[in-house]
Structure 1
Amino acid sequence: MIAHYAAIKTLHISCVILSLSLFVLRGRYALRDQAYPGGRLLRVLPHLVDTVLLGSALLLCFILGQYPFVQSWLSAKLLALLLYIAFGHVALHQRHGLTQRRLAFVAALLCAAYIVGVALSHDPRSYLAL
């Protein structure tokens, strides 16, 4: 399993980049009240990417023997991920007002930036620890 660590980590990082890119793209259209180009693909692809992202994260935790609520940096990432999901949900759904969606979109991106900082530093202080 350790031999596959590099491949799983590369897959995980690739999914992070793709997931965030898709979120920004979807946010761009949602905040302009425009229909997504590509129709169903842009609605389904983020869920597939996020599923692979979560699966690769779980595999990495298992391989490294590091788990949320044991290591503080993984706990911080998990809690920030839950906030990212909540803010992203508000940002992408039109039942919320435009100002609320814009604020939620920025908050989701800030959560994502924090998560990346925690992943790079392995510290809940994120970029402040680098």
Structure 2
Amino acid sequence: MISYLYLKYLHMGCVALSGAGFLLRGVWMLTDSPCLQQRAVRVLPHLIDTILLGSAIAMAVVSAQYPFAVNWLTAKLVGLLIYIGCGTMALKRARSKAQRAVFLVAALGAFAYIVSVALARSPLGFFAWLAEAASATLPAAA
């Protein structure tokens, strides 16, 4: 049986490759680079994302933690759907470069949110520090 730790490292590696690849393709799209037409550039992201999704599902099964049962996993799933939607608009569907740039930034924000949720294991993700900072500065109730 595959260990959870192995799946986690596989997943984290694919997250890094997927995010870096998406950013690179976004830059290439904005600069009209011919690199986008290379076969590997068109195929590799699908392979990496398939392994990424497969490792996520395997970790959920091994740990018995599932979206809609664990709130931070639900937040990651919602973030993933936003990331996919914005990413599709950024790389393929938006009509102008300006629109593509806006969707690229939105997709990268969604990606950062997903990673922050995973690190914090909180649906607040990087917003958790705001809640902590706010609660630390509030005077205690008398």
Q: Which amino acid aligns with 2:51?
A: V
| Paired-residue identity, % | 47
Q: Which runs of 4+ in 1 moved over 3 A?
A: none
Cα RMSD for the two superposed structures:
1.5
Unaligned runs of 5+ in 2: 130-142
Q: Which amino acid aligns with 1:110?
A: G
Q: Counterpart in 2 of 1:121?
A: 120
Q: Secondary structure at the match of 2:43?
A: helix
Q: Secondary structure at the match of 2:34?
A: coil
Q: Which amino acid aligns with 1:67?
A: Y
- Tell me, in whole angstroms, the C-alpha distance in 2 between the residues paired with 1:89 and 1:7: 30
- Tell me, in whole angstroms, the C-alpha distance in 2 between the residues paired with 1:95 and 1:128: 29
Between structure 1 and structure 2, the one with the greater Rg is 2
Tell me the TM-score normalised to structure 1 length. Answer: 0.93
- Tell me, in whole angstroms, the C-alpha distance in 1 between the residues paired with 2:54 and 2:87: 20
Please give the per-residue CA displacement for 1:44-81, whole angstroms capped at 9, x wherever unaligned: 00000000000000000011111011111111100110
Note if 1:70 corresponds to 2:69.
yes
The alignment of Structure 1 onto Structure 2 pairs a total of residues equal to 129
Note if 1:61 corresponds to 2:60.
yes
- Tell me, in whole angstroms, the C-alpha distance in 2 between the residues paired with 1:37 and 1:91: 13
98-107 or 24-33, which moves further after superposition? 24-33
- Tell me, in whole angstroms, the C-alpha distance in 2 between the residues paired with 1:31 and 1:94: 13
Q: Which has the higher contact order (CA 8 A, sep 6+)?
A: 1
User: Contact between 1:68 and 1:78, CA under 8 Å: does it hold in 2?
Assistant: yes
Unaligned runs of 5+ in 1: none
- Tell me, in whole angstroms, the C-alpha distance in 1 between the residues paired with 2:37 and 2:82: 28
Q: Counterpart in 1 of 2:133?
A: none
Q: Counterpart in 2 of 1:33?
A: 32
User: Contact between 1:80 and 1:115, CA under 8 Å: does it hold in 2?
Assistant: yes
User: Contact between 1:31 and 1:92, CA under 8 Å: does it hold in 2?
Assistant: no
In structure 2, the CA distance between the partners of 1:106 and 1:77, relative to structure 1 (3 Å rule), is same
User: Contact between 1:84 and 1:112, CA under 8 Å: does it hold in 2?
Assistant: yes
Tell me the TM-score normalised to structure 2 length. Answer: 0.86
